[in-house]
Structure 1
Amino acid sequence: MADPIPEAAIRAIVEAGRRMAERNWVPATAGNISVRLPGGRIAITRSGFHKAHLDSGAVMAVGLDGRPENPALRPSAETGLHCGAYRAFPEVGAVVHGHSIANTVLSRRAGESIGLAGYELLKAFPGLPTHDAAIELPVLDNDQDIARLQAAVEARWARMAAPILPGYLIRGHGVYVWGPDMDAALARLEGLEFMLACEMANLSINPLPGGSAP
């Protein structure tokens, strides 16, 4: 019989869900949240639960391969993307995925990345101690085949210079962000969402040439 999920991990996921829901980043039953557990296990939200109303029954455990410890429970359809981050980066302790208006709209307009420069909140990301910096946030095409989508994510990571930016967008879908613990992952998510909201507001004031404001 599998070990129970630690209460601290459940609490971190439940509180993250409420925090993200308060900001309208996980409408309906969208989004998913996970925490790394000892022994190669992951605690992750189950499919179909609204993130504003999570409790211990909405959290389950899977292995690094995404297989549920309890086959009767169904994890998020995108569990494989969480597992991919945990496998690739041993320092990752938490992964969050949200669907804000800004990240959805901007990812639909973007090419392979969205450039962010000069923002104070760039300091939320590792290796950027000042606002005088620039990043390219990867944007990947959406794909319902999660294994294929994770392979595309890994191919993008292979093209990026170290350290790998701890986040990416899926076009028209949402954002994935991770950190060494839940507090760090949420801080990075909040910083990124603020910058994306600023980018969208700027487009509404200064539409792209030949285009219309979102």
Structure 2
Amino acid sequence: MPCTFIRLAGCPLRCLYCDTTQAIPTDSGAWMDIDQIIDDVQQRGRPLVLVTGGEPLAQRNCIKLLERLLALGVEVQLETSGAYSVAGVPDGVRRIVDIKTPGSGEVERNQLDNLKLLRAGDEIKFVICNRSDYEWSRDFIRSHELGGDDVPPLLSTSWGEVSASDLCAWILEDHLPARMQLQLHKVIWGAEATGV
């Protein structure tokens, strides 16, 4: 589905696999106010808008931006590190919440209270850096009884660290109630392409 991608600058996390380090500084990118963002989204006329970062929930006006986007009548998604509470995210926004694995270097930042706040249509994402990360994620999914169709867990490989075929085999071997996810933009345009 055609998507307008809004990347908010600034992130207090330092995930070892981060592929958008250019978005870590709060002064990166171009400064835009919310009205300018809304105008840009309307001009593009796409049915889906994804707000990501950096870490979008670290920005004080993120909730206001999400409310304004919802008022446009488009599908709105928020991708967040899981280090901040999603309690204030408006109804109608589909939340994609990362669970940081040990290989991220940020596992202690997980806000596990977010699990209770998820609702149908939301997703939980695990980035897998190695077999140990996979096993940690598998055990996390099982111990927290994740895996229903309402809020599916997504397992994604850390680019260049784990092969998609290995991750697929591990999921199948364990009959894990999870979906595998690939970074399709890297498959299609290459790992170094930006703005695609």
TM-score by length of structure 1 reads: 0.28
TM-score by length of structure 2 reads: 0.29
Q: Which has the higher helix share?
A: 1
